[in-house]
Structure 1
Amino acid sequence: MNTAATVVAVVAAAMSAFSGYSLLTRASWVVQPLEEYGVPRTWWTLLGLAKAAGALGLLIGLFVPLIGIAAGIGLVLYYSGAVITVLRARSYGHVAFPVIYMAPVIAAFALGFAA
């Protein structure tokens, strides 16, 4: 894996870890939109853990590529689901947020496969 792919993977992991932490600690700027979108409270902990696991998987993937690939795919699916949830809630102004978190994961894939 080249240096650029490694740096982008670490940034993607940090962003997903921060997002997972924010959800697990019930940060108001995360919780309020979830309530507006109609995401059940019972899902919040699992969603936060999924982001955290994806972040950890990306970091492990620096040493075990298959785990990184699986984690990346999982995070892309997670954030794609988030985009769909936001669109279904008609909160079009919030669509950029899951895309911002998904972009470095996709970029790490692109850079990793280009190497």
Structure 2
Amino acid sequence: MFIAHAVVAGLLALTLAASATFTLQRNEAIVASMRKVDVPDSWLPRLGALKAAGAVGLVAGLWLAPLGTAAAVGVTLYFIGAIVTHLRAKNFELAPAATLALMAAAALALRLAA
């Protein structure tokens, strides 16, 4: 189970690191997506920092199980919040957020099983 967890957590961490970088750099595609769901530009640094913290926590969690569990819970909640935000804005482009929420939930389940 640990190898499966390491693979899922590693892929999720890479995705989060890239997303955090694009968010903090205010990439046009990210900014446009955030604006579609009424997220203020002032939230971008905080959201980027949360993604970066999730990535670091998932990687560190490979050695420190409680940290990995906490990071997986946090990332899962982050993307559930993203799904809710999309739904409240009546924006049904949910695939990226839903995929990442499922990946985070899988990382959590595998961390707990390992």
TM norm. shorter chain > 0.5:
yes
Identity of aligned residues (%): 39
Task: Tell me the CA shift for residue 44 of structure 1.
Answer: 0.6
CA distance in 2, matches of 1:78, 1:65: 20
Matched, 1:99 2:94: no
Q: Work out the CA distance in 2 between the residues paired with 1:102 and 1:14.
A: 15
CA distance in 2, matches of 1:32, 1:89: 14
The list of structure 1 runs, each at least 4 consecutive aligned residues, that deviate by more than 4 angstroms after superposition, is none
Aligned position for 2:88? 88
Deviation of 1:51 after TM superposition, in Å, equals: 0.4
Partner of 1:25: 25
Q: Normalization by structure 1: what TM-score?
A: 0.92
Counterpart AA for 1:68 = G
How far residue 110 of structure 1 moved from its aligned partner, in angstroms, is 2.0
How big is the alpha-carbon RMSD for the aligned residues of Structure 1 and Structure 2? 1.2
Displacement, 1:38? 1.0
**Aligned partner letter, 1:13:** A
Please, what TM-score do these two structures have when normalized by structure 2? 0.93
- List alignment gaps of at least 5 residues for structure 2: none
